[in-house]
Each structure stands twice: as structure tokens, then as C-alpha cells.
Structure 1
Amino acid sequence: MDRILRSISFIFHPIIMPILGVIFYFHKSPRFIPEEVMYAKLISIGILTIVLPILTYYLLKTLGKVDTIYLKTTNERIYPLAINCIIILIVIVRILSQAQIVELYYFFVGILISTMACLFLAIFKFKASIHMISISGLFMFFIALSIHFSINITGTLALMSIILGAVATSRLHTKAHNYMELIMGFFVGAIPQFILVNHWL
């Protein structure tokens, strides 16, 4: 059980949540989007939100700005979060157009707001759970898409609820966070997505 709970944090790592949201959108959207456009967006976003953060981590580790991939202290979080804000901003400005794919545009605006809020909290020495921020934001985005496109994804939402609970349990089991940090992470991830729904739903 210990291994299972620890593995959950790696399987549902925050770094993969943005690309999962993009894949889910392209899979469920009833709009016609050319395949070459979808693949171009996926590859670009994958490079920027997965490959680049990994390379950035190793650079920061070499420079002595972070000690481990777990970012156990608030000081270790500041540089990665600040850089991630820049990366997400690049995605919004250069890859996703509000006029072209409005849902994904505001999904990433929500991610940017959540990341900035997490950075702000880290500066003031509060370690909100990044795992909870990412999974709760994705969960809220799925709910909004189901309403927006009038699609039945009850099974997906039920699975996401289980995953949300499993991630929270995993973070508590590994003593990475306490209850307050998990609760704060949930709201930091979900509230921006909920508010921004008004712009595209």
C-alpha cells in the first residue's frame, strides 16, 4: 500500500495535467479542428509544459537553486514557479489564440493565475499543494466542458473524483503536505477555472 500511495504522486504529477486537459479537449470537442493543427498544438504545448520544465529543473539543480525534485521548501519553489509562469504565458500568447480555441485559451489563463497564486503563497512561506492545484483545476475544466458541449462524461468525472481523493491521500501519506495545504491547493486550482468559465461557457 505504501508503494501504491507513493506512486500516485508520480503518476498524476502536476507537469502532465496541462497536456491532459488539451488532449481531453481535442477528444471531446464537437468542433472541426484539422488534425495537423491538433498535432502542432499538442507537440508545442508538450515541449513547453513538460520537456522545458524538466530541463529547467536540472539547470536549477546545477545552479544550486533546488535540492530535489520534491521542492520541499517554499524557497525552492520560487524559481520553478516563476519560470513556469513565463512558460504558461508563452503558451497563451504564442500557441493558443483566444479567437481560435477560446476554451483552451482560458484553461491556460486559469493555470497561469493558479501558478501565480502558488508563487505568491510560496514567497510568503506557505506551501500550497501543487498536485492539488493541478488536479482540481483540471477537474473543474472537465466539468465546464461537459456543460459547454452538453456531453455526458459522468464516468470521467467520477474517475477524476477518485483520483482527486487518491492524490490528496498520497500527499498526506508521504507527509509532503498537511490538510490546510491540500485544501488551499484545491481552491487555488479550482477557483480560477470556475471564475473564467464566465468568459467562454
Structure 2
Amino acid sequence: MKVFLRFWSYLVNPLFVPAVVALWYFLNVSFTDGTIIELKMYLILVLTAVLPMLIFAILKLLGVVRSIHLPHIRERRTPLATYAILLLILIRGGFNDFTDLPLYYFFVGVLIATIVAFVMTIARYKLSLHMMAMGGVIGFSIMLHASIETPSVLSIAILFILSGLTATSRLSMKAHKGHELLFGFITGLIAQITTGIYFL
């Protein structure tokens, strides 16, 4: 069981979640032209996954970070600040055609949550980035369902179950305390609900 929980923790790494959400959105919701979707998806993948991983590799070589899970508070500051800048570039450059507004506000929500996580590191508090990502996905799904009734209630319920599994995996790995998991989840959830109001 511990092996599976560890695998799950790597599978739902916060770096991968935004790209997965974007892919689901483009396949199930977006009416944008296929070529534009491909360009946007490429940009999202590069700015939210590929570049952050390359930057992480450089930071690891420099000794700034030691693990992809960023267990120590001081290790989180540079990656979070860099990620926030990349998100800002994505928001300003990837959605200037005023299409796919729900996805635009999803990334605004991700940016807000990332800034909160960064500020918390300055306050010497380590919220769970995994749970922040899961809370964000659930918040976005709830607001999208309220707007266009997609995804289904069943799908949202499954997301809650997966969120519980993620929390269990982080506790099993002794990566966080319970309140850090809860605060991370609430941060992601509230950020998406707040920005989701703008596309209802």
C-alpha cells in the first residue's frame, strides 16, 4: 500500500495538474479552433511543466533544492516565485484572444494560490502544494459545473475521493501535518471559486 501511495504522490505532482486540467477542458468544453488549441496546449505544457522541471533540475544542481517534493520551507521560495512568473507569462500571452475564459480564470486562480503559497513560506509555513492543486481542480470543476453543468456531479465526487487519496499519500510519506494539507486544499479551492465567479 505504501508503494502505491508513494506512486500516487508522484503521479499527482502539482506541476502536472494544470496541463491535465487544460487538456480535459480543450477536449470536453472548448469550441476554439483546433490549431489554436494545439498552440495553447503547447504553451501551457511548456510554461507549467517543462520549464519548471528544467528550472528545478538547475536548482538541484546548484544545491538550492534537494527533492521534487520541496520538503523544506526555504527550498520552496525560488521555485514558487519562478512558477508565479511563468504563470503570469502564460496568462498574459496565452489568452489574449479572449477565448476560453474559464481556463483563463483557472490559471489566474492557480497564480493567486501560488502567490499565497509563496507568502506562506516567508511566514515560515509549509502548506501542501499537492492538496492546493487538488483543491484547485475541485474548485474549478464546481464553478464550471455551475456555469455549464460540466463536469458531472459524479465526476466532482470522484475528485473528492482522489483528493482524499492524495492527502493519505502525503500523510503516509510524512510530508505534511494535517493542518498543512487542509490549508493547502482550502487555498486552492477558494482561489478557484473566487476567480470562477467571473465566468459564471
TM-score, normalised with respect to structure 1: 0.95
Deviation by residue 1:151-188 (Cα, 9 ceiling, x = unmatched): 35133212211110000000011100000100110111
Q: Residue 61 of structure 1 contacts residue 67 of structure 1 at CA under 8 Å; is this kept in 2? A: yes
Cα distance between partner residues in 2 of 1:197 and 1:152: 14
Q: Residues 37-48 of structure 1 correspond to what in structure 2 (within 5 A)?
A: 37-48=36-47
What's the C-alpha RMSD, in Å, of the aligned pairs?
1.3
Equivalent positions of 1:108-119 (< 5 A) are 108-119=107-118
Q: Distance in 1 between matches of 2:170 and 2:182?
A: 12
Going from structure 1 to structure 2, the CA distance change for 1:98 and 1:144 (only over 3 Å counts) comes to: farther
Which blocks of at least 5 consecutive residues in structure 2 are unaligned? none
Q: Which runs of 4+ in 1 moved over 3 A?
A: none
Q: Which amino acid aligns with 1:171?
A: R
Cα offset for 1:20?
A: 1.5
**Structure 2 match to 1:55:** 54
What code does the residue aligned with 1:167 have?
Answer: T
Instruction: Tell me the number of residue pairs that the alignment of Structure 1 and Structure 2 aligns.
Output: 200
Q: Equivalent residue of 1:14, what SS?
A: coil
Q: Relative to structure 2, which stretch is displaced further, 120-129 or 153-162?
A: 153-162
Note the 1:129-140 alignment, pairs <5 A. 129-140=128-139
Provide the residue aligned with 2:154 in structure 1: 155
> How far 1:27 sits from its partner (Å)?
2.2
Corresponding residue for residue 189 of structure 1: 188
Q: Please give the alpha-carbon distance, in whole angstroms, between the structure 1 residues aligned to 2:99 and 2:16.
A: 23
The answer to whether residue 99 in structure 2 is matched with residue 103 in structure 1 is no
- Please, which moves more after superposition, 97-106 or 187-196? 97-106
SS at match of 2:15: helix
